């Protein structure tokens, strides 16, 4: 009987231990489950702001100014003939040699730049700078400048620059030749049309720049860039274009919207 009583006591203790163990396991399981739910909720909350911030980043417009594609053209070999005054000559962008003198004696010349921002009319100086003016007129009548971009704007010296159909940039190849500088000691004022060149003398070819404001006089200390024309109509267009300047660097910036010289038409009278 005593042994039976001890066995029954052991069974009751075992059941109590089993129940206690079951309760502990259930409690621990619930605690782990609750902890996992809390961690997941925290991760979802922390990701939401990140997604909100990252979204607009992918649609932000680039600050890099647009660039134009190169404009194709024909090539002349041998001596360069004078182009037709009526503008009927084909488009040529590569020349084997500089042009001859093609200006008519006693005539005055103007050039009209038709751009997508408006027209600019320039009186070309065939008296002080006949060779430079002649070179520009020949290139214009061969449609060298048609479709070219204003690829540079520099507000530190108030200039806009263009005239490079093959590259649409200041580093592009010129027409295939260079022309001599016509004098030095030039001063620069708003509206002046000036030949661009490298730091070396006699290195101008086709690229030009317009002075658009008073800061262009900062170039007076150099005075080596040949002024061969002056704006008679469209100064406000020049100022509008430099107002589009964006970016900076050793050569300034560029228009934030593409500015294209659709054509350059030369008139003689």
Instruction: Report DSSP letters for 57-89, one per residue.
Output: HTTPPP-SPP-PPP---EE--SSPPPPPTTS-S
Q: 170, exposed or middle or buried, with CB in 10 Å at 0-12, 13-18, 19+?
A: middle
Do 222 and 97 fall within a single domain? yes
Do 43 and 120 fall within a single domain? no
Do 250 and 198 fall within a single domain? yes
Domain boundary among 60, 88, 110: 60
Number of domains in the chain: 2
In a domain, 68, yes or no: no
In a domain, 11, yes or no: yes
Do 9 and 139 fall within a single domain? no
Which phi-psi region, left, alpha or beta, contains residue 50 (left: φ > 0; alpha: ψ -120 to 50)?
A: alpha
In a domain, 65, yes or no: no
Do 131 and 18 fall within a single domain? no
In a domain, 69, yes or no: no
In a domain, 67, yes or no: no
Do 108 and 187 fall within a single domain? yes
User: What's the domain range around 47?
Assistant: 1-60
Hey, which residues does 268 pair with through a beta bridge? Answer: 109
Please give the torsion angle defined by the CA atoms of residues 54, 58, 62 and 68, in that order, rounded to the nearest 10 degrees: 170
CATH number at residue 214: 2.40.100.10
Do 36 and 144 fall within a single domain? no
Whole-number pLDDT of residue 9: 57
Do 87 and 195 fall within a single domain? yes
In a domain, 248, yes or no: yes
Tens digits of pLDDT across the chain (269 residues) = 455 455 555 555 555 555 455 444 444 444 434 443 443 333 332 332 222 232 222 222 335 788 899 999 999 999 999 999 999 999 999 999 999 999 999 999 999 999 999 999 999 999 999 999 999 999 999 999 999 999 999 999 999 999 999 999 988 789 999 999 999 999 999 999 999 999 999 999 999 999 999 999 999 999 999 999 999 999 999 999 999 999 877 789 999 999 999 999 999 99
Do 27 and 104 fall within a single domain? no
In a domain, 66, yes or no: no
Residue 160 corresponds to which tokens in the numbers above? Answer: 């806009």
Domain boundary among 60, 89, 106: 60
Separation between Cα atoms, residue 131 and residue 134, nearest integer Å: 5
pTM: 0.76
Do 52 and 85 fall within a single domain? no
Do 87 and 149 fall within a single domain? yes
- Residue owning tokens 């417009």: 61
Do 12 and 55 fall within a single domain? yes
List CB contacts of 57: < 8 A, sequence separation 6 or more: none
């Amino acid at each position: 009987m005593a042994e039976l009583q001890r066995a029954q006591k052991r069974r009751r203790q075992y059941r109590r231990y089993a129940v206690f163990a079951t309760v502990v396991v259930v409690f621990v399981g619930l605690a782990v489950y609750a902890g996992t739910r809390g961690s997941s909720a925290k991760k979802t909350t922390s990701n939401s702001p990140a997604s909100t911030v990252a979204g607009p980043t992918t649609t932000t417009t680039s600050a890099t100014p647009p660039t134009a594609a190169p404009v194709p053209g024909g090539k002349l070999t041998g001596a360069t003939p004078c182009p037709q005054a009526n503008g009927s000559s084909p488009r040529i962008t590569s020349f084997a040699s500089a042009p001859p003198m093609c200006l008519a004696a006693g005539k005055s010349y103007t050039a009209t730049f038709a751009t997508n921002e408006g027209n600019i009319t320039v009186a070309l100086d065939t008296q002080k700078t006949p060779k430079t003016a002649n070179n520009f007129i020949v290139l214009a009548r061969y449609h060298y400048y048609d479709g070219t971009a204003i690829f540079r704007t520099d507000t530190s010296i108030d200039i806009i620059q263009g005239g490079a159909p093959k590259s649409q940039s200041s580093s592009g190849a010129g027409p295939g030749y260079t022309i001599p500088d016509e004098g030095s000691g030039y001063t620069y004022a708003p509206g002046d049309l000036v030949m661009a060149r490298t730091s070396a003398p006699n290195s101008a070819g086709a690229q030009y720049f317009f002075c658009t404001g008073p800061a262009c006089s900062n170039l007076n200390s150099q005075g080596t860039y040949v002024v061969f024309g002056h704006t008679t109509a469209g100064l406000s267009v020049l100022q509008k274009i430099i107002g589009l300047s964006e970016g900076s660097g050793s050569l300034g910036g560029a228009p934030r919207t593409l500015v294209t010289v659709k054509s350059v038409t030369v008139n003689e009278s």
